[in-house]
Amino acid sequence: MIEDRLDRQLTFLTEIDALKSVIRQSHLADRSRRENAAEHSWHLGMFALVLGEADPTLDLAKVVAMLLIHDIVEIDAGDAPIHGAYDAVALAQAERAAAERIFGLLPETQRDRFLSLWREFEAEETMDARFAKALDRFQPLLLNILTGGGTWAENGVTEGQVYERYQPAIERGSPALWSRARALVRRHFAAARD
């Protein structure tokens, strides 16, 4: 029974190695290549540890766990670029199926806990999930600023579109972070106009 449990856990841990090969749109800060979803998830874990530490209303361990698992569904469903067109309903369905399959590799009690954590993140209703979502939106914004526009420059994204696509999630999860993000975005587009 314990052996079987470990078998299932190692099967899951082996399967998720594939997240290292899911390529996102964001460029690394040094512009050497695009980021993959596994290292993005690590970076977000660090964002949570650093930026969430001072907030006693957060369950920081839960936020970190959410961020470590939040993109695992992309192993099956792929990464949907924020600036591209995609079928949101079909994507949500593919992600739900992916969550069932991949977390389903785990022992049942763990499968249920991970599924519940992933659904909490996706629902954006709890403060923990909203803070996690804010970081997931802020991190690529920061990488775009650091790389002279990054995916915004590549996709001809305007300053107004940046506010549309980033402000709701970041502001809802962390007004202070949005205040900083907005200042960074303004400065970036002002410099680009000069």
Please give the single-letter amino acid code of residue 102. Answer: I
Number of Cβ atoms within 10 Å of the Cβ of 63: 28
Six token digits for residue 45: 């874990």
x-or-dash pattern for its own copies, window 111-150, by CB under 8 A?
--x----------------------------xx--x----
Alpha-carbon gap, residue 160 to 170, rounded angstroms: 15
Give how many residues touch its own copies by CB under 8 A: 45
Is position 51 an interface residue for its own copies (rule: CB under 8 A)?
yes
Minimum gap (Å) between residue 156 Cβ and its own copies: 25
Please give the single-letter amino acid code of residue 88. Answer: A
Among residues 4 and 89, whose Cβ is nearest to its own copies? 4
Q: What are the start-end ranges of the E strands in 9-147?
A: 23-27, 34-36
Piece of 43-51, 122-130, 150-158, 185-193 that binds its own copies (CB under 8 A): 43-51
Is position 73 an interface residue for its own copies (rule: CB under 8 A)?
no
Six token digits for residue 48: 């949570």
Place of tokens 């549309």: 164
Is position 46 an interface residue for its own copies (rule: CB under 8 A)?
yes
Q: Is 173 buried (19+), middle (13-18) or exposed (0-12) by CB count in 10 A? A: buried
Minimum gap (Å) between residue 57 Cβ and its own copies: 16
CB 147 within 8 A of CB 93: no
Minimum gap (Å) between residue 180 Cβ and its own copies: 6
Number of Cβ atoms within 10 Å of the Cβ of 125: 10
> Which neighbouring-strand residues pair with 34?
27
Among residues 32 and 57, whose Cβ is nearest to its own copies? 32
For binding to its own copies (CB under 8 A), which residues are involved?
2, 6, 9-10, 12-14, 16-21, 28-30, 32, 35-36, 38-39, 41-43, 45-47, 49-51, 53, 60-61, 64-65, 68-69, 106, 110, 113, 142-143, 146, 176, 180
